[in-house]
Structure 1
Amino acid sequence: MKNLVNYQPTGISKMFDNFFGNSITDFMGGDFAMTQPSVNVVETHDHFRIEVAAPGLERDDFDIQVENDHLLIKAEREHKDEVKEDNFVRREFNYTSFTRNFQLPKSVNGEGIGAKYENGVLTIELPKKEEVKGQPVKRIEIK
């Protein structure tokens, strides 16, 4: 059994390491990396807004659910490309997916949540309950 800490490739192993790179991610490329999209969360007087950077997806690729004070955002997209030329066929497959889960504050009105997808950004509006919006700002006196 090889000691993987001190393993030095030789012969055929070295040839494959040189050809494919030193890691499977070098060989497979960045498209196969596990990533989460960037998210902005903004709070205003009337609502919260979640902005998810998800370029390259379509509106129908998303599934948004609210359950037990949790907002679940899922996206899946599979892309297949096939080129047939004289003596060969090239097939390429790309699969993108992610899941994000957010605990909703008690101040969110779950019935009024809305979403839109535009220019590669999924925007989810989470309105606040009326009783929360109506509370005036209370100044605290410093003694």
Structure 2
Amino acid sequence: MTLLTGWESLRELSAMQDRMNRMSRLFREPYSPEGPEEALTTTAVAPPVDIYEDEHNIILKIDVPGIDEKDIDVSVQNNTLTVHGERKIEKEEKEENFRRVERQYGSFTRSFTLPSSVEPGQVSARCDKGVLKINLAKKAEAKPMQIKVNVGAEKTLEAIESGKAA
């Protein structure tokens, strides 16, 4: 009976620690003297990325709404694709007794190690409707190859070379 009471106390202690950890997240860096709502304007921007591939390309789609194309830089160096950009604050809108900023502003950098199947010199990027699409072309040897299956008698390489193929 005492053992069960001890476990229950540990469970309560753990639950209290979880609640305290969640509360403390409101006041973590970046610190703002105005409070946690103001800290939202200075948090790091990390746009979400979808990565998929087809037989010819690896494609990245990065959400960059509100970021001007001139504020986005895409580069490949040392087998690493780097995307750098900045979302700038347009203008502050204030209403009486109300101020809330939830969108993230500031600069971001996302880096991706390129697989050996990518041709680093054949990278293209375009931005459309707030989505940056980056195409990474695959090397020819990395692309799938169709192999024809012959039906009937098996021809050996020696017979084909000597011209004796049946």
Does 1:127 pair with 2:137? yes
Choose from 41, 55, 60 the match for 1:45.
55
Which structure: greater strand fraction?
Answer: 1
Cα deviation, residue 82, structure 1? 8.1
> RMSD of aligned C-alpha atoms?
2.5
Q: Deviations over 1:71-97 (max 9, x none)?
A: 0100024346489xxxxxxxxxx9521
- The residue number in structure 2 matching 1:66 is 76
Q: Write the deviation string for residues 99-131 of structure 1: whole angstroms up to 9, x where unpaired.
A: 000000111111111000111111100011112
Identity percentage of aligned residues: 31
Q: Could you tell me the TM-score, scaled by structure 1's length?
A: 0.64
TM-score between both structures, scaled by the size of structure 2: 0.56
Contact 2:64 2:130 in 1 (8 A): yes
- What is aligned with 1:98? 108
Structure 2 stretches lacking a partner, 5+ long: 1-25, 94-103, 148-166
Query: Higher helix fraction: Structure 1 or Structure 2?
Result: 2
SS of aligned partner of 1:109: strand
Q: How does 1:7-46 map to 2 (within 5 A)?
A: 23=27, 24=32, 26-46=36-56
Do the aligned partners of 2:48 and 2:63 also contact (CA within 8 Å) in 1?
yes
Q: Which has the larger radius of gyration?
A: 2
What is the alpha-carbon distance in structure 2 between the residues aligned to residue 80 and residue 124 of structure 1?
26
Partner secondary structure for residue 60 of structure 1: helix
Identify unmatched segments of 5+ residues in structure 1. Answer: 1-21, 84-93, 138-143
Letter in 2 for 1:55: P
| Matching residue of 2:86 | 76
| Farther-moved stretch of structure 1 (105-114 vs 22-31) | 22-31
